[in-house]
Amino acid sequence: MYKENFAIDLDFLKMKSPPLIGIDISSSSVKIVELSKVGRGNQGYRIERYVIESIPYDAMQDGAIVNLQAVGESIHRGWKRMGTRRKNVALALPATDVITKRIIVPAGQHEDDMAFQVENEASQYIPFPLDEVDLDFQVVKTLPDNPEEVEVLIAVSRKEKVEDRVAVALTAGLKAIVVDVEPYAAQAAFEMTLNQLPDNGKDQVIALVDIGATVMKVNVLHNGESVYTRDQPFGGNQLTQEISNQFNLTIEDSEIAKKNGGLPSNYKNDVLQPFCETLAIEVMRAIQFFYTSTQYTEVNYIFIAGGSAVTPGLSEIIASRTHVSTMIVNPFQSMELSSRVIPRQLNLDAPSLLIACGLALRSFDPS
């Protein structure tokens, strides 16, 4: 790792092994997950505890922390409720705050020599002075047609973006050990679910659609590599707003009613069904953009994640619109559950815990 020039000793890409918890900070809540290792292999994990804690409205904006104190207090409340002793945490930056680039360099270099070359290469793609950024890199693979060269993934973010994550952890009384990138964390957790597909999804094109409160994030994967990403400004807040408009409720009450029920009998037909149809059209549009932007002509599976994934009937409507087999993500389906975890509640919450789960996995070396 190249660390000498960085004020903060954090890795974007490489694995760490201290006991830690994963904390995903989204626009409406923080999700905290703690895992333990119970065996060998990628499925030998147990979910010890987790919590979802709401954050004040407007404390986050476009993935950025705008009210550090409020977000820190929410994390601390969630941490206290969860009852863990772990204070080391892994956090993640949104993809919009990170520049990534794949480059080719000679294989077999000493790490310091590779770091020097990576820094020189990175300077061509970064629109900021190098002393204003945190940079990390990881060797991805040896080139099959040229074993003397390797592909290296570079990840770069402005220092203040990383420092905000570190500071919010400190505000909560915790210590940031890892700062990851949200799509990488989500993909790490998502790979835990591939055993439900024939041949573990080998050679299949899989669209991972994370439906958050304000943004729908699409990441298309092929054999473990991301081949396309797209963010679309549509999410669960549209449903909350429509509930508020239709039934004259505050946004806060609408969000509670959306989760807990108790809405008038016309809610399903007049509000929920149109929302699901619109969301399915957004997914279909994203897939069409994928086809026109890449050489791929087919998506074999769609997996939906995020807080809106468990919306009744949504996966069926998406499957009908796109003509693609659609499933709801549950990264914990092959894990053991501790006695603190209620299975039924976890099934409802699991799709929104994808990033937090991936961050919690950073406690373990998958090799």
Q: Which of 81, 83, 69, 65 is nearest to 172 (CA)?
A: 69
Q: With 0-12 CB in 10 A as exposed, 13-18 as middle and 19+ as buried, what is 140?
A: middle
- Torsion sign over Cα 52, 56, 59, 60: positive
Q: In what order do the strands lie in the sheet with 205-211?
A: 225-232, 216-222, 205-211, 301-305, 325-328
Count other C-beta atoms under 10 Å from residue 345's C-beta. Answer: 11
Mean pLDDT of the chain: 89
Longest dimension (CA), the chain: 67
Taking only the tens place, the pLDDT of each residue in 243-288 is: 999 999 998 899 888 888 889 999 999 999 999 999 999 999 999 9
Report the CATH fold assignment for 196-330: Nucleotidyltransferase; domain 5 (3.30.420)
pTM: 0.89
Taking only the tens place, the pLDDT of each residue in 302-341 is: 999 999 999 989 999 999 999 999 999 999 999 999 999 9
Model confidence at 42: pLDDT above 80: no
Q: Which region among 5-9, 170-174, 279-283, 306-310 has the lowest average model confidence (pLDDT)?
A: 5-9
Domain-by-domain residue ranges, the chain?
Answer: 196-330
Residue 290 CB-half CA count within 13 A = 31
Residue 292 CB-half CA count within 13 A = 7
CB-CB contact of 201 with 302 (8 Å): no
CB-CB contact of 154 with 135 (8 Å): yes
CB-CB contact of 130 with 217 (8 Å): no
